[in-house]
Amino acid sequence: MSESKRICLLPGDGIGPEITAEAVKVLEVIGAREGVRFEFDEALLGGIAIDETGSPFPEETLAKAHAADAVLLAAIGGPKWDTTDPTKPRPEQGLLGIRKALGLYANLRPVKILDALNDASSLKAEYLEGVDMLIVRELTGGLYFGASGREDGVEGAASGGGEGMRAYDTMEYREYEIERIVRVAFDAARTRGKKVHSVDKANVLESSRLWREVAHRVAADYPDVEVVDQLVDNTAMQLVRWPAQFDVMVTENMFGDILSDEASMLTGSLGMLASASLGDGTALYEPSHGSAPDIAGQGIANPLAMLLSVEMMLRYSFEMHEAADRLAAAIEAVLADGWRTRDIADASTLPQKMVGTKAMGDLVAEKL
């Protein structure tokens, strides 16, 4: 009798369904080889969920996610649902909703340079030497989840005076929220380069000053790990000046959102950045990129961030480390052979080695 693992699939919007198909393809090969039966249970999230149910995060999706051993999410959102009207549902509410509902406070985004992609980076190869970092982004608090709203008829809010509209978002953290995410970072650093950059804006923000105090309290439990406080604006600069200085970086939700997009360009493309969102229950895996509506349906999206997210799922949720290593090696081998999707192609890419989403998935599956 073979072991079975239930995966809740959330293909979402845009290129989501295309890259999800490649993940399923690759998981089926891995399952057959490892004697593990992966059972897929598809559910709605984001724009498609709004279209079909009116809600970006239907009840049924939460139930399926809870019932699964892991959740694999592709991407959500698109211009079709973009609105600034606060009374209309938005796909992003689905994503934030499932993160919160599953208690996924720790978002791990590894940034590793694959030799084959040195030339795809926007930085010169010499700056990429030794780059291997893990961004630990707090995911269920901070600016994304603090009090927010709009108020009409606010005296003096209109240009030129008079009544107008005020809108606000609040960055707030409780001690325990900071402590648990900082611990994730220190625990990870212990298994890696033993250095943690705690990124904040303590020269301006009160929530950052609390962040810094708590980070240092936690650091005392990890005398073997070096801790560096770094201001977020400086971090944005250091990421392109000397990215190899980072081992583990831990930061507030929105800071991490911004810095991880920036860091993804070191690898050559946002299409290469995977992520794992962990909490105390079922974990969720998703590429860090969006739904790329501009190229949706064309079969040219890069499925590798999705496949690298599958790799993280095999490691963190299923403890299938050998299979994960094999998947990582297969991806590297395909790239080393010169195969490229459009986003990671460079001047040296042979035209006959430019492939689409499906072909890239096939190549990885074959190498397995």
Told to check if 207 binds ligand IPM by CB under 6 A, we report no
Instruction: Name the helix (H) or strand (E) containing 364.
Output: helix 357-367
Active-site annotation holds for 325: no
How far apart are CB 258 and ligand IPM at their closest, in Å? 9
d(CA 307, CA 302): 10
Active-site annotation holds for 257: yes
How far apart are CB 75 and ligand IPM at their closest, in Å? 8
**From 105, 144, 173, 222, active-site residue:** 144
Tokens of 47: 């724009």
Active-site annotation holds for 221: no
**From 13, 200, 247, 257, active-site residue:** 257
**From 115, 233, 280, 325, active-site residue:** 233
Identity of the residue, 289 or 340, whose beta carbon is nearer to Mg ion in the bound complex:
289
The residue ranges of DSSP E strands in 139-180, in sequence order, are 148-154, 164-169
Told to check if 10 binds ligand IPM by CB under 6 A, we report no
Give residue number: closest CB to ligand IPM.
Answer: 92
Identity of the residue, 157 or 258, whose beta carbon is nearer to ligand IPM in the bound complex:
258
How far apart are CB 92 and ligand IPM at their closest, in Å? 4
Nearest to 217 by CA among 167, 183, 264, 252: 183
Q: Which of residues 74-103 bind Mg ion (CB under 5 A)?
A: none
Identity of the residue, 208 or 275, whose beta carbon is nearer to Mg ion in the bound complex:
275
Phi-psi region of 12 (alpha: psi -120 to 50; beta: other; left: phi over 0): left
Identity of the residue, 65 or 334, whose beta carbon is nearer to ligand IPM in the bound complex:
65
Sole residue written with tokens 């944005």: 236
Convert residues 287-326 into a mask of x (bound to ligand IPM by CB under 6 A) and - (unbound): -x-x------------------------------------
Identity of the residue, 312 or 355, whose beta carbon is nearer to Mg ion in the bound complex:
312
Q: Which of residues 244-283 bind ligand IPM (CB under 6 A)?
A: 257
- Exposure string for 203-240, b = 16+ CB within 10 A, e = fewer: eebebbebbbebbeebbeebeebebebbbbeebbebbe
Phi, psi of 111 (to 5 degrees): -120, 105
Which residue(s) pair with 226 in the sheet? 195
**From 261, 316, 358, 362, active-site residue:** 261
Identity of the residue, 247 or 286, whose beta carbon is nearer to ligand IPM in the bound complex:
286
Q: Which of 252, 257, 286, 311 binds Mg ion (CB under 5 A)?
A: 257
How far apart are CB 310 and ligand IPM at their closest, in Å? 17
Q: Which of residues 43-82 bind ligand IPM (CB under 6 A)?
A: 77
CB atoms within 10 A of CB 257: 19
Told to check if 95 binds ligand IPM by CB under 6 A, we report yes
Eight-class DSSP state of 4: E
How far apart are CB 156 and ligand IPM at their closest, in Å? 32
Phi, psi of 43 (to 5 degrees): -140, 170
Pairing of strands 195-200, 226-231: parallel
Query: DSSP secondary structure string, 223-286?
Result: TTSEEEEEEHHHHHHHHHH-GGG-SEEEE-HHHHHHHHHHHHGGGT-GGG---EEE-SSSEEE-
**From 64, 173, 200, 201, active-site residue:** 201
Nearest to 133 by CA among 65, 206, 188: 188
Q: Choose from Mg ion, ligand IPM, none: what does 200 bind? Cβ within 5-8 Å by kind.
A: none
Active-site annotation holds for 224: no
Task: Give the relative orientation of helices 304-316 and 321-336 as an angle to the nearest 10 degrees.
Answer: 160
Nearest to 267 by CA among 73, 105, 135, 77: 135
Active-site annotation holds for 201: yes
Tokens of 96: 């934030």
How far apart are CB 260 and Mg ion at their closest, in Å? 6
Residue ranges binding ligand IPM (CB under 6 A) = 77, 92, 95, 257, 288, 290
State the catalytic residues. 144, 201, 233, 257, 261
For Mg ion, the binding residues (CB under 5 A) are 257
